């Protein structure tokens, strides 16, 4: 009777160990997929940040050029020049944010 009981306990223990191992594998897979999703979200956030900085610089340049043309009467040259300057500023901001070009204040920190 005691042997049957010990065998029953051993079977239950082995079954529980197998279930626990499968749960651990599932948890590992879930952690890996969550880590991949987080990397994907960070990339999407970076892309949105870079694109919004670029578009904002172009829009600011165009608006300032339009306002300059309205008040000074230099149409269309103010708009053209400041639109191009806004484009250049947008490209520079994107390159700085991406880490391709150093920030101007980084040289002072050394």
Residue 5: per-residue pLDDT:
78
Per-residue pLDDT band for 61 (boundaries 50, 70, 90) equals very high
Q: Could you read off the pLDDT of 23-40 as tens digits, one per residue?
A: 888 877 778 788 888 878
SS3 category, 62 = helix
Identify whether the C-beta of residue 56 lies closer than 8 Å to the C-beta of residue 97.
Answer: no
d(Cα 64, Cα 70) in Å, to the nearest integer?
A: 10
Give me the chain's average pLDDT, please: 86
Q: For residue 9, what pLDDT is reported?
A: 82
- Token pair recorded at residue 13: 């223990």
Beta-carbon count within 10 A of 105 CB = 7
Rounded distance between C-alpha atoms, residue 81 and residue 83, angstroms: 5
The predicted structure's pLDDT at residue 90:
94
Task: Provide the residue ranges of all domains of the chain, joining segments of one domain with +.
Answer: 1-98
- Put simply, whether the predicted model's pTM sits higher than 0.85 gets the answer no
Decide which of 39 and 71 is more confident: 71
């Amino acid at each position: 009777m005691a042997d049957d009981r010990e065998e029953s306990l051993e079977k239950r223990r082995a079954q529980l160990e197998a279930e626990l191992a499968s749960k651990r594998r599932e948890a590992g897979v879930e952690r890996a997929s969550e880590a991949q999703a987080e990397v994907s979200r960070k990339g999407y956030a970076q892309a949105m940040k870079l694109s919004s900085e670029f578009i904002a610089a172009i829009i600011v340049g165009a608006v300032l050029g339009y306002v300059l043309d309205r008040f000074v009467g230099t149409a269309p040259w103010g708009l053209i020049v400041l639109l191009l300057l806004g484009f250049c500023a947008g490209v520079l901001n994107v390159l700085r944010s991406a880490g391709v070009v150093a920030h101007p204040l980084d040289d002072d920190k050394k």
